[in-house]
A and B are shown apart, each in its own frame.
Chain A
Amino acid sequence: MAGMDWAAIQTVVWTLVKILALVVPLMLGVAYLTYAERKIIGWMQVRIGPNRVGFQGLLQPIADAVKLLMKEIIIPSGASRGLFILGPILVIAPALAAWAVIPFTDTLVLANINAGLLYVMAITSMGVYGVIIAGWASNSKYAFLGAMRSAAQIVSYEIAMGFALVGVLMASQSLNLVDIVQGQAGGLHQWYIWPLFPLFVVYLVAGVAETNRAPFDVAEGESEIVAGFHVEYSGMAFAVFFLAEYANMILVSALTTLMFLGGWLSPVTFLPDGIVWWLLKTGFVLFLFLWFRATFPRYRYDQIMRLGWKVFIPITIVWIVVVGAMMQTPYGHFFH
């Protein structure tokens, strides 16, 4: 009996080590994504971007983190205390938990579960609670407006996102993320982006909307409602919202890579597959996020609703039927 306990403890400790090995690089990625964002948008707007702290401003994210850690967390006197603190926690927890099933190569994955895709969808759909609770618990009109906008937006785009994933599920005939990537083996032309191109576009744009990034950032909308749902947060509590937003951005980019761009598979057969391709492709999708932000003005609220319900959902439903029909033709082998 003692031997079994020892084995169980070993498993738990080993899993914790693996979680740490996943979260630490992720947090570093988040930190340097903020740096990349400021630099890239700076260049796009013919500015220099941060260049004071460290060589070329490379230590800027560290300085920002230290600054936010030192700041006082102010809880407004009219706030619902417990929920005010719970808000940021409920935002960051799903953003990190979803990473449990994301594969980096066919063996490098924390939990290779059969229903991986469903798990990711379910966990990411929980993130909206943090935003709603934060907005409500702040007891502030701007924060509440931001929370309401965010709830409406995330619920609307989740449907289109889910339908886009149904297309991937049909093409790969699996919910396991490793199997989905392996279904795209054989070079660039086998990636699901080609047969599922409309779904790829819908997924990417819905992903931008789900992460509340520009041009879908009405939940924050600086020029309208100050900072939206997190207007009352300061110091580390604010930083947690920030971390979650960027972790979610990387997550959506990683999922786009896995489902449409062949994950860790090399685009040509004569080069070996590997995590390098995963990083390159995810980096490219992340670059698109920053590019969108530098390019597009913020959507108006009614335009966001129209795009989600009247454009994206019909497109995905039609394309699911098209994929179903294509699978019955001689070109069906394209999918698996």
Chain B
Amino acid sequence: MTYTTAIFYFFAAILVFAGMRVVTARNPVHAALFLVLAFFTAAGLWMLLEAEFLAITLVLVYVGAVMVLFLFVVMMLDINLDKLREGFWDYLPLAGFVSVLLVIEMALILGSRHFGLEVMGTPAPHPADYSNTRELGRLLYTDYVYAFELAAVILLVAIVAAIALTLRRRKDSKYIDPAAQSKVKRSDRLRIVKMQAEKGPVARIQDSGEGGA
């Protein structure tokens, strides 16, 4: 067993274990953290395939951003696990059917007739100065530029739609416009009243008309 094969099995074992725990962990926060571990290990496996851009982007996007938001939400929810597990036996036949279907599909595609070593030989390792990022960028912006731009536009529409659906102006919001806040002059907030200190309270009320600055 070479060094890389040993690393592969090490990572693969962790990945399978983490994937199992995502489903079986009793605490949803623990499940989310095992999903983080699964993503990170998968990134390690991609790194072994010399796909460093995809590997690092997986960590950057899924681990660094998506899962943080996910964890953020899961932590704030009060999830009743017993309620969640109530329908387990009712859903089991459907789940079993779906998983059998998945296994059959995978067997059809990944069978040795299409994916064996004689059909798909081991690709030659790239030299050290090979940049996966550069190659990927070149392909995305030349050969696949229309598909890429289409995907970008769809994502943009999705962002705009999500904001438009959730944007509502609350009437009771105490929002302060920072621009207006910094433009405030002293005279808007403060009025200096000149009055004689030695006069009594009755006299001051009579003078208040001329006291304003």
Interface residues of A (CB under 8 A from B): 8, 83, 113-115, 118-119, 121-123, 125-126, 128-129, 132-133, 136, 144, 147-148, 151-152, 154-155, 158, 175, 302-303, 306
Contact = CB atoms under 8 A, between A and B. Distances in A.
B59 A8 contact: no
Given A119-B56, A136-B29, A128 B68 contact: yes
B75 A136 contact: yes
A115 B53 CA distance: 7
6 contacts: A114-B52, A115-B131, A132-B75, A155-B65, A155-B69, A158-B64
Contact of A151 (B53, B56, B72, B132): B72
B178 interface: yes
B190 to A, nearest CB: 21
A74 B68 CA distance: 27
Given A8-B3, A129-B71, 18 more contacts: A114-B133, A115-B53, A115-B131, A118-B60, A122-B56, A122-B60, A123-B59, A125-B63, A125-B64, A126-B59, A136-B29, A148-B72, A148-B75, A148-B76, A151-B72, A158-B65, A175-B131, A303-B178
Interface string B51-87: 0110011011001110011011001100000000000
Given A8-B3, A115-B52, A121 B60 contact: yes
Nearest to B30: A83
Contact of B57 (A83, A118, A136, A152): A118
A151 B69 CA distance: 8
B72 A132 contact: yes
Nearest to B53: A115
Contact of B59 (A114, A122, A148, A302): A122
A115 B56 contact: yes
B56 A118 contact: yes
**A-B interface, 6 closest residue pairs, ranked by CB to CB distance from nearest:** A125-B64, A122-B59, A122-B60, A118-B56, A122-B56, A114-B131
